[in-house]
A and B are shown apart, each in its own frame.
Chain A
Amino acid sequence: MARRTKIHVGLEIGTSKTCIVVGEVKPDGAVKILGIGVTKSAGVRKGEISDFHQARACLKDALARAEDSSDVEIGSVFLSVTGAHMQGVNNRGVFRLPNNHEAIEMEHLEEARDMARDVQYPTDHASLHTIVRRYLVDGLEQTASPIGLFAKTVEVDFHIVHGISNRIQNSIKLVRECPLEVDDIVFAPIATAQMALDREQRLRGALLIDIGGGTTDYALYLDGSIAASGCIPVGGDHVTNDIHLVTGLPFSKAEKLKILEGNASSDPALSVGIARLTDENGFADVEVKRAILNEVIRQRLEETLLLVRDRLPKDAVESIGAGIYLTGGTSLMRGFSELAFDIFGRDIYRPEAPENNDLSHPSFKDPQFATAIGLIRYAQIIETETQRPPGFFGKILRLFWPFGR
């Protein structure tokens, strides 16, 4: 545990908004949000940067706002990335102990880990996370490190997230040009899960679905560790685009109609009549049959959720005990939780934006900033983890470092 306060900054370059959250991690582990900077994104499509210069301008704007509101000079950030190319896979490494060894030693574990990490992925991909899910000692589950235990074989289950390295590099380059340093890059749903799911929920089994503007990210936790993660390049933009394509309305009106009138529930009682938008003079501007509007929305979201469901490991949905947690702007769509319930048949939780929008509130949990705040949590966890085995230099440094740490 850090003995002094530390400031972490989370940066999410999303399809619809770029958002920077500055958080302060207190010595007791509590996180305090110091400030937030948000701007609408431009040049980002389906979670990936499509116009570098526009995206950079947005980032600079968000950075300025965040520094302004938090009164902190931001030097480095934790960056979340997403995109259709990101994939989460599980792999297991098995190591049989040599005959003359009875107990597991560090090198045996390393051997097993190397095998587990050795996942076949395309050559242009790079692994982003290698997360230990659990250890198995002679087939028996061990959550903590099994070093020192007597065993014949040791197995390690890994969850590995990989993506196209050039695209990830470009995101980093964008941030560096700001100029900001990148402390670490995190796959978006994993970051979000740090905030949205607590330990107990992860133990009981929980699925996080973050439906944003351009992508739908999901992370499944079973038995306390991550079991699946991934990204489907469909989001709220698609819903708007669908409305545009089906009805022929311009994007701005389609978007407005979606937000004001759309409903994803399949309840036919909500699909009666005509949805209208009025212009500034109060005249009916746009008229669309609710039946069509809702059907377009529902089919899109239903398909997206089905894609998520199909990507989960077999029988995983049944083992979700805590429920399904929805975040992201599109999850605010009316009737969405009913739709999700129809598909998954599990409890659906949709965090509401807290009434108390006071940033200084310690348990500040706005679903809008879930990913960025999750990044701070992630930073906090990484920090405590990396701190545990201090390297040789660290030890020496500590001897001379006057301020503790």
Chain B
Amino acid sequence: MISYSRDPKEEIPTSAVKILGLGGAGSNMLERIALDSIEGAQLISLNTDIRTLSASLSKDKIQLGLNLTKGLGTGGDPDLGQQAVLEAEAEVRAALKDQKIIFLCVGLGGGTGSGAAPILARIAREEGAFVIVFATMPFLFEGSRRREQAETALNQLAVLSNALVTFDNNRMGELVLAKQGIHEAFGAADKMISESIKAVIRLVVKPGLIHVGLDELITALRTTRSRCLFGSGIADGKDRAAKALRNALSSPLLDQGALLKDAQSVLVHLSGGESLTLFEIELLMQNLQKHVPEHTQILFGAAIDASMGDALSITLISSLPEEALTSSTQNSHAKTAQEAAKNISSPIEPPQPKRPTLKLPDKIVPERPQPRLIDEVFDHLETKATGPVSVQAQDLKPDTQSSDQTAPPLKADSPPAERPKEKAHDRPFAEPELISLESPTSPLAETPVAKPEVKPAPPVITPPAPVQITSAEPKPSVAEIRSEPAATSAKEPKVDLANPLQLKTDSKHPVDQDELSFKKTPRGRFEGENPNVIDGEDLDLPPFLRKKK
């Protein structure tokens, strides 16, 4: 038998993959990854805190800020984190040399994570690596300050990294049951990140039957400033193709595949043991087609990996354009946010990754913190003045100036007494600045904030008869509201937001119609007999038809 080897250039040696764990959360993730023993990849943990660092399982460790923090943590100060990483820059640079792919795992919000991650990402890119950042966002209860630090870092990372995958800790509840222990919850999140990294490595490193490589990955993730949609699922046994796809789509990042509706290109990578059949691939792709619009480019790859055994894994990678989101100026919050950004000349501005190293931190260190805080206060006051209704006002007049005028009547309109209360509750958490920044990076996190915004919308549009709202009505209305202020970018929140409305109205419908239906339906052979009812189901009718309803 003659065997031939595939083009070796396309494959990346596993030694050229490094996984960095930065900060406390990062090293936790790294531990999980180490436990899952991703073959070949090298793990490096970086931290300012020497205690956590020494407890880390990874082989290589780099202590940041040896002189600055003297082996202690940063105490939640991103500036310290930044300076710490700059201090150890030479060491980091040496460690990252000649790497093809670098995964950076970081928990944002803290000092080391938020401060050092952007610098680290930049160094890695300067060393010529493809940088994929896995970042977790802090819990809401950790306070807005921490959240804000995380958002800032995330924005920088979105620019600096090739791909950014964010996991919001607030969504952790979806991964585990409510009564499960806290470490199980964190464990689940870490596990998911580990699975994701594994899947990407599998995709890039393993030679494929139908090969996808870095180039496809880059196409799928399309340059800078995009939000990564990521789903990975493994299943075995019968019906594994469908199960794996279901698992992949159930990833919190994909929102049951709803977010894929807006994707321009989707990378699909299948990997399975030798029992992988063409039929399964066909079936899976057919199922996937249902979640993806027709014009979407599907980059398909498949690989046989004997170590997978009976299992089949599917990885979906795609991205939603984010630049559109931030550049949309209709949204008053986005506007103010951008202005604020301009003032500070923070790295939200278009990136230049090949810039001399010292410039960026120079700018950030002295200027950023103070003016930003002041600006924030301004923003806060401003938006407070326009009130919570400013967003609703846009469906009537997209202009920010006029929102002041429209605000009072709207307030008067909104009939139920709880609504203002709700608002009052939300405001301390949902700072205007946050809304604008959040929506691009993680619309998942946004839902709690955004919901109250939309709820009042239907009554505003059809104030006299809120009872008559059918499932069809609110949907376009939401679409209108959304599509007006933010052309393309609002698409993904739209999907998010429209859902709860739909669900609500839908659930009303079947109650109206159900009861009498079976008498009219044809019963074939059992026509004219007494209905054969057991447990409320007429057994003479095909379950196939019954279950569909």
Binding site for B on A (CB under 8 A): 45-46, 84, 232-234, 237-238, 240-242, 244-246, 251, 266-269, 272, 292, 295-296, 299-300, 302-303, 307, 310
Contact = CB atoms under 8 A, between A and B. Distances in A.
Contacts of B534: 84, 232-233, 307
B525 A251 contact: yes
Contact of B544 (A251, A299, A307): A299
Contacts of B537: 303
Interface string B275-296: 0010110010000000000000
Interface residues on B, range: 20 to 34
A268 B532 contact: no
A45 B544 contact: no
Interface stretch (B120-128, B235-243, B409-417, B431-439): B235-243
Contact of A234 (B242, B522, B529, B539): B539
Interface string B516-528: 0000001111100
Nearest to A295: B544
Nearest to B539: A234
B547 interface: yes
B181 interface: no
B544 A268 contact: no
Contacts of B239: 266-268
A258 to B, nearest CB: 13
A45 B529 contact: yes
Given A233-B532, A251-B525, A299-B547, A269 B539 contact: no
Contacts of A310: 535
Given A84-B532, A268-B239, A300 B543 contact: yes
A245 B532 contact: no
B496 interface: no
B525 A241 contact: yes
Given A45-B529, A268-B241, A246 B542 contact: yes
A269 B277 contact: yes
B279 A272 contact: yes
Contact of A267 (B238, B523, B543, B544): B238
A244 B524 contact: yes
B545 interface: yes
Given A46-B532, A268-B239, A245 B542 contact: yes
27 contacts: A84-B532, A84-B534, A232-B539, A234-B539, A238-B540, A241-B526, A242-B542, A242-B543, A245-B542, A246-B542, A246-B544, A266-B239, A267-B238, A268-B239, A268-B242, A268-B280, A268-B283, A269-B279, A269-B280, A272-B283, A292-B544, A295-B544, A299-B544, A300-B542, A303-B537, A303-B539, A307-B535
B238 to A, nearest CB: 6
B214 interface: no
Interface in B208-258: 238-239, 241-242
Contacts of A295: 544
A238 B539 contact: yes
A295 B547 CA distance: 11
B542 A240 contact: no
Q: Which 6 A-B pairs have the closest CB atoms?
A: A242-B542, A299-B543, A241-B524, A296-B544, A241-B525, A303-B543
Interface of B: 238-239, 241-242, 277, 279-280, 283, 522-526, 529, 532, 534-535, 537, 539-545, 547
Nearest to B280: A269
Contacts of A300: 542-544
A245 B238 contact: no
Contacts of A45: 526, 529
Contacts of A246: 542, 544-545
Contact of B542 (A46, A267, A268, A299): A299
Given A45-B529, A251-B525, A299-B547, A241 B540 contact: yes
Contacts of A238: 539-540, 542
Contacts, number: 72
Nearest to B242: A268
Contacts of A272: 279, 283
A263 B34 CA distance: 45
Contacts of A232: 534, 539
B548 to A, nearest CB: 10
A127 B410 CA distance: 73
A68 to B, nearest CB: 32
B12 to A, nearest CB: 34
B58 to A, nearest CB: 42
Contacts of A267: 238-239
A318 B542 CA distance: 30
Contacts of A233: 532, 534, 539
A214 to B, nearest CB: 10
A289 to B, nearest CB: 13
A237 B238 CA distance: 29
A296 B544 CA distance: 5
Given A234-B539, A241-B524, A307-B535, 6 more contacts: A46-B532, A241-B523, A245-B542, A245-B545, A266-B239, A272-B283
A300 B242 CA distance: 21
A240 B540 CA distance: 11
Nearest to A240: B525
Contacts of A296: 542, 544
Contacts of A240: 525
Contacts of B529: 45
A244 B544 contact: no
Contacts of A242: 542-544
A45 B529 CA distance: 10
A87 B544 CA distance: 27
A280 B239 CA distance: 37
Contacts of B535: 307, 310
A400 to B, nearest CB: 55
Nearest to A301: B543
Nearest to B547: A299
B115 to A, nearest CB: 50
Contacts of B541: 245
Nearest to B537: A303
Contacts of A268: 239, 241-242, 279-280, 283
B238 A266 contact: yes
Contacts of B242: 268
Nearest to A267: B238
A303 B534 CA distance: 11
Contacts of B525: 237, 240-241, 244, 251
Nearest to B524: A241
Contacts of B524: 241, 244-245, 251
Contacts of A302: 543
A251 B279 CA distance: 32
Nearest to B526: A241
A197 B241 CA distance: 39
Q: Which of B238, B279, B532, B543 has the most CB of A within 10 A?
A: B543
Contacts of B279: 268-269, 272
B246 to A, nearest CB: 13
A34 to B, nearest CB: 36
A295 to B, nearest CB: 6
B312 to A, nearest CB: 13
A315 B208 CA distance: 48
Contacts of A307: 534-535
A184 to B, nearest CB: 29
A281 to B, nearest CB: 28
A299 B540 CA distance: 13
Nearest to B287: A268
A295 B525 CA distance: 20
Contacts of A241: 523-526, 540, 542
Nearest to B529: A45
A232 B323 CA distance: 61
Nearest to A232: B534
A251 B525 CA distance: 8
A359 to B, nearest CB: 33
A268 B282 CA distance: 11
Q: Which of B524, B532, B534 has the most CB of A within 10 A?
A: B524
